[in-house]
Structure 1
Amino acid sequence: MIKGSLKLASSFRNKMIFLFFAITIVPFLLFASYAYTKSVEGIQNANATFSMDYLEQTKRNVEAYLNQLNDQVNDLIGDGALQAMLAAPPDEAGEEEAVAVDLLNLVYQKKKQIDALQVRVFPLPMEAYPTYMRTLGAPPGVEREAWFERARQSVVPTWSLALGSGPGSGPLLVYVKTFTGLHDRTPRGLVATDLSESHLSRFFSPTKRLEGQRFLLLGEQGEILFDSSRSEWTGQPLPSAELEQRRQVQTEGEMTIPLQGEEQLATFVNMDSLPWTLVSLTPMKALTKPVSDLNRLLVFFLAAYLVCSVGVVAYITLSFTQPIFQLVRLMRKLEDGDFALHIPHQSRQDEIGWLYRGFNRILRRIESLIEQSTLAERSKKELEFQVLSHQINPHFLYNTLDSIRWKAENHGRTDIGEMVSALGNLLRLSLNQGKELTTVGRELEQVKAYVQIEQARIGRPLRVAYFFDERMLERPLIRLLLQPLVENAIQHSIRENIDRGKVVLTGRMDGEDLRIEIADNGRGIPDSVLRALDSEESAPVRGRRTGVGLRNVNERLKLYFGPDYRLRIDTGEQGTRIVIRHPALPPDDAGAERRLAQPGGETSQDRPANAKDASYRPDGPEG
């Protein structure tokens, strides 16, 4: 059963169906989810920013109003007539009644200048003004109420919340201020200023309010002093401990809190002059209502999209996957060795038709390819035999040169023997057993063999000096790099002045590279040769073959290691200096020969760390 399920899942047709739904439905759902999340986030941020700005403006307006109210109350307190009436309690009943009438008239007149619902003045002591207190309508024992005692004992104005109990009565926010005489510290009375809901609601009435949005004014202990939603929560503690804790440590902020079973976006700002906080609460469902409507529309489109997708899948299955499935069965028969297959003719001009016709052509070519494979195997054997035969030729040449050297020495011609021996060494080192990589030491031996042959040909010693770091002699080096350059220096620079001509070879480690310099004091390299060296053409210069060795070495370095490793040539009438830079490959790097088979494959990661330079003079200057 498991194998059957795996086979069903690996079917191309089923994969196509799964892939179709994966690239159509899944991205659609992901995009819808992402768009909804980002839309809610954007709406929430925008509303939070708007609410925060509105609360800041409301805070400034409320504080300006409270400052104005305090100034108006101070004008009442500073009135000379009020101070004179309350300077001393009246002694007689008639005098007390006259004071009561004057005091009521004064308060009534001043009330017109104070932006409040009601202004009450309580003289101290109150028992000395019974007529005034009865006319004022103050309840008996008002001086023993908590708000009165708190205001009387405080040196700063106090606020208290009075909740009405009668029909049509609303909560009042009472501003109480105790005042003394103008020229002494003797208490004269209290001024209680009542602010109704209408006095505060005008500061919490934005032009556009979302459904369910409300504004709160919180007191110092977290009690709700004002609720813009018909004072529903006025007098109650804030129903969110998280918001209460947050406002105690921050001056303003925004957060999402659960209230009454739904998420609310809360923004708050603390006031500067009073320990109050302005709060805006907005239901999240009111914010996301447009997005929710859009989501319902998306669900409808998704259902229609699924119906269309099923139709498209059926069409793809019948028109594409079923013919491919039939072709797979034919291919399995071919795997079993049945070459006598009948491929149905497909006149379709799409990829399916091309696939059937292409498979038919492949099938018809398999038999011819089998025959060609047999012939190719036979040719391969013949080539291997030829390669083995050609390997005999270099050994035959070595043996022949050794025989010539032996006969020359037997006849007393040691010069001929040495020349033949040098030629044999030169040939052996040049061939390098067919390998492209040699070592710096073997390359120097090849140069010395060449110099020895040239000295024998010229009949005069050549001044060639070698100075190499001993630790770089075992480093791998591309073969035939130095000998062509030394030959070029001898043939074209110092040959016309053998007595004074000199060639110096220097080698040292330079970071992750081998640096080899070949310097001579000859007549320099012509400009035409240098221009041909830098050109893209690899053909030799017309006429004399001057510069062929230079160009060969330069092209090989660039081919294997890139343009950064080309020859650096400094030439003039006083001589020529050629600098070769070669990557410092590890001495035992077995994969270097294979990497050189792919030009440009060597990287700095394959190079070893270098040691300090040291001079090396194996044989001293020759000549």
Structure 2
Amino acid sequence: MLFQPVRRRKKFATKIVTALLIGILFSITMSSAMFYSTSSKLVKKNVRTSSLQLVRQAAETLSGIIISGNDASNVLYSDVKLQEAVRTVAPDSLQKKEINDDMNRLVNNFVASNSFVKTLYVLREEGTSWGSGSFKLSKVYGKSIRELPWVQLALQKDGEPVWGALAYDPFSGVGDRNDLVLPVTRVIKDFESLEDIGYLLVNMDGQKVLQRIQQIRLGNTGRFYVVDGEGRVMIDGRTERIGLPLREAPLREWAAASREAEFEFEADGVRYYNIKQPLSNGWSMIGTVPVHEITDELIHLRYYIWSSSLGFAFMAVLFGLLLARQVTKPIKQLTAQMKVAETGDFTARTEVNSQDEIGQMSRQFNKMIRRIDSLIHEVQEVQASKQQAELRAVMHRIHPHFLFNTLSTIKWLVRYNETSRAYEALSALVLLLEANMGKKGNFVTLAEELDIVQKYLTILEIRYDRPFRFHLTVDPALLPMTIPRMLIQPVIENAIFHGIVPTADAGDIWLNASEEADRTVIEISDNGAGISEQRIRQLDDAEDGEGDGPGMTGIGLRHVRESIQLYFPAGSSMRLDRRNGGGTAVILTLLKPDQPETLPA
């Protein structure tokens, strides 16, 4: 045998809470997802815009410094006194002093008048060179000027300004590590012969350059630096990186050649966001920041959205439980009263006074129950009237026949001077008529019915002038049992008329009444002539409405059958059977009602 799966009943409250939770969670999830997506795009857009503005601002600041350096270089490059001083290779002592004084005054005054110019040098391969501040001529001629990298680059540009990487000023102070400067170099040409006659080195203040860049923040740890067209670092607060190419090849290629303003790459397990802005000298300002720093706001926003969604979902569950409780409480009350009505108690009423659909259903239920109760009482009254009419009709058919036979017997007893027996018969008839003609209603106890049968047998013994022995085996607890009138008497009469009388001998009738769990069984048997199978079928057909039992036997047994059907629960029955030793047995099976109660009087 296969095991059937157990179906769990889903409560209405659970359905409401589930539906409400799903609806709220779905709406919250969708709105949160849409809000998160929109806000993410907005935040990213704002971050991009802000980052681009920052790098543009940094680039404008640095470009301003570069332009200032270019302007300074152009002004000095075109200065007539500088041209004459550089062209003069072997002046006399008086002229030399005058040139030196003019050049020192020129470079120092120029540095003093320009806040971004740190130092200024005019260098020659032969003769005197000039410089501002703590210029050390000895550092110029420590090695060949032409061999210096920035000089070679300036020669390649043939008079155009050339910017160098951020570095320490090599020609001033003591030692190699002096002030940080951002140099712009160019070859000084003779305006007449266009020959290279010297070199102009304008050093912008490197500390101010770094300060201006570092004042602009990109995230918490983001920074700005400058690369040239080949991806080498030219300006960076971390001076150890200056002059070196960018370590990451993709980043280097993007910084040197790409036109894209944004770029992301990963290094050492950290993803970086980079933005680029070109400078006026062909370099590029690069801003870099870890991606997580610009997305922290999004992460916090996501956590806030989901935590608030969970909070709203929890509130939705509580609200759903409260709502379901308010909704299901009247439904439970209505269901409980329906179960009461299902048992047959039509006094059940609900007390839901709300004005909603449940209240309307409750009022309709009460109205329906009252109507059903009224209809049941009407049906019961009609059925009782019908039963009484049928019972009276049967009795009116049975009694005249029996009364005619009894009076006929008494007449013959009187004729033959059997006065004592005639008196006895009349006395028994009077008692039988008194007990059996409706003085006590249509229902009697089993004890009263058996007493009527005893009186009836007395009359029959006188009539047929033979004894009829009546053997009773009855559970005393059954004697108060209420049964319809003439439930047993017609069976006894049938046993005598059609069973014992044809044998022309005395007879025995046995009545056994016993009680089982849900029924009472009354078996009436005799030792008469018996009954044929054909006769049993005729009586069964009469019960089914396909035939009619002839004579008084059919009327009496039909009355017994109908009484059982009318007054006892479905399943109660009367069954005829043949006894093995001869005679007939009639078995009455009377089921007990679901709610024990006595039959109406």
Q: Please, what TM-score do these two structures have when normalized by structure 1?
A: 0.46
Rg larger for: 2
Normalising by structure 2, report the TM-score.
Answer: 0.48
